[in-house]
A and B are shown apart, each in its own frame.
Chain A
Amino acid sequence: MTAMIQEQAKPAAAVETKMTARDVKVFYGEKQAIKGVSIDVDMDNVTAFIGPSGCGKSTFLRTLNRMNDTVASARVEGTITLDGEDIYAPAMDVVQLRARVGMVFQKPNPFPKSIYENIAYGPRIHGLASGKADLDVIVEKSLRRAGLWDEVKDRLHDSGTALSGGQQQRLCIGRAIAVEPEVILMDEPCSALDPIATAKIEELIHELRGRYAIVIVTHNMQQAARVSQRTAFFHLGELVEYGVTSDIFTNPKQERTKDYITGRYG
């Protein structure tokens, strides 16, 4: 029961807004994928984006650390701020932004290097460690926070790709954590994992909550219900409804949300 109590959303007045999107539109060439989305992401609650395939939830997630910059035809309009700072401003250092707003992908994608190197790489290139001892501390701390330390501490120099899928995904989360991000974006982080590995990631998300602002895109509504305190439902590029997760799943206000979460969509 204590877990249930911890999962309660914090009251709106008590939360610290981390990222703000205002009237965000994304175009791929002529096609408009996101049609004016405004949303606040806060430090204290895990935010889940749900919606059918092609609804724009992943596209929108990727605007939050400018991953869409890597798509030549993509164009973003509107304003997105991190701690009040416009992340699309010309002065914004995109590499630095992506260190502050980390990302974990659907398929675990560790570097083809050792477990140690997977974690150490980011802090090293960002100059976060002053020597080997420092780096060792960061590696251990990151792997502990990722819930992987006990499983890998005796084989830190084995290849990261030799781990199981679930371990690889936690390694990727550890890699994101290692550069001290403020926000972690997760794009269907469990869709390639079995239920036990999924449960471990979900438990990890609970533990990371509060330390980082977490946004998770998921196809699995039960997962959104389990891990998040705020849920946003996207449909056809629009943000249809955004609210407290328990409200969305027991008493959604919008007909489209209700049809989707009760399995009446399409």
Chain B
Amino acid sequence: MAEHTIKAFDQEMDKLRGLIAEMGGRAESAIEKAMLALQRHDKVMAADVVAEDKRIDAIEAEVEKLAIEIIALRAPMANDLRDVIAALKIVGVVERIGDYAKNIAKRVPLIAANQRTQEPIALLPSMGQVAGEMVQDALNAFAARDADLALAVVERDTVVDDFYNSVFRTLVTFMVENPKTISECAHLLFIAKNIERIGDHATNVAEMVYYAATGQTLPDRERGGQSQED
């Protein structure tokens, strides 16, 4: 894209994109680390995830400040305006994604590391991976103004929803058969729900990216949390 006549405007827009890329990278890594900590019963890694969430929150505040400055001082128009508005909305959503990752990490110390819980824990990592990739792709799509990639993320939301429904049924069955694991499995249910919400939020980000890139809003889809067990 051609440069602005006013170079400082380009620098500010680049900074905005840079911050969002960083935020996305951190959110994606928080999900990955939280899931890894869960599998390895690694309380230290889980505590890291909780601590690192502060940086995600700080980036949100920084992006909000910069976006408001750009609107006030540069009066962005057309695609610039859509980018700034999308950035403002995206950071709010990514902050929530960070919170879900943090919530998963906080549950790690509460799940006992023993033979009994190995089987149900093993249900979750691949679901977490799909959701994490959706977050990453949605934010890469923003950086690259890639409407097709954003659309692909939106279409993947059903994969996470299906995953959730299947994990839910399996965990319930497992609890019935192994009543002593109910406490741990309840945490795992929440973790699965958190991952499902992350997928929904990644989809919301992708919809904003699609709007920023094309100026068109996607037709209404089934909103998050529509999975059958809700």
Interface residues of A (CB under 8 A from B): 221-222, 225, 249-252, 257-259, 261-266
Contact = CB atoms under 8 A, between A and B. Distances in A.
Nearest to B75: A222
Given A222-B75, A250-B215, A251-B215, A263 B82 contact: no
Nearest to A253: B215
Nearest to A248: B78
Given A258-B78, A261-B77, 16 more contacts: A249-B81, A250-B77, A250-B78, A250-B81, A251-B78, A251-B82, A252-B78, A262-B77, A262-B78, A262-B79, A263-B6, A263-B74, A263-B77, A264-B2, A264-B3, A264-B5
Interface string B3-41: 111100100000000000000000000000000000000
Contacts of A265: 5
A135 to B, nearest CB: 45
B119 to A, nearest CB: 52
A226 to B, nearest CB: 11
Contacts of B6: 263
Given A250-B82, A250-B215, A251-B82, A221 B77 contact: yes
A259 B6 CA distance: 13
Nearest to B77: A261
A243 to B, nearest CB: 12
Nearest to B74: A263
A1 B11 CA distance: 34
Nearest to A247: B215
Contact of A249 (B3, B5, B77): B77
Majority DSSP secondary structure for residues of B touching A: loop
Given A221-B77, A250-B215, A251-B215, A262 B4 contact: yes
B125 interface: no
B79 A263 contact: no
Contacts of B5: 263-266
B84 to A, nearest CB: 11
A29 to B, nearest CB: 32
A252 B215 CA distance: 9
B76 interface: yes
Contacts, number: 41
Query: What are the nearest 8 A-B pairs in CB distance?
Result: A251-B215, A264-B2, A261-B77, A262-B80, A263-B4, A258-B78, A262-B77, A262-B78
A154 to B, nearest CB: 40
A264 B5 CA distance: 5
A221 B82 CA distance: 17
Given A249-B78, A250-B82, A263 B9 contact: yes
Given A250-B215, A251-B215, A266-B5, A261 B78 contact: yes
Nearest to A265: B5
Residue of A225, A261, A263 ringed by the most chain B CB atoms within 10 A: A263
A249 B9 CA distance: 18
Contacts of A266: 5
A251 B75 CA distance: 15
Nearest to A266: B5
Contacts of B77: 221, 225, 249-250, 261-263
Nearest to B81: A250
Contacts of B9: 263
Nearest to A257: B78
Given A222-B75, A250-B215, A259 B82 contact: no
A216 to B, nearest CB: 18
Contacts of B81: 249-250
Given A250-B215, A251-B82, A259 B2 contact: yes
A258 B77 CA distance: 8
Contacts of B215: 250-251
Contacts of B2: 259, 264
Contacts of A258: 78-79
Contacts of A262: 4, 76-80
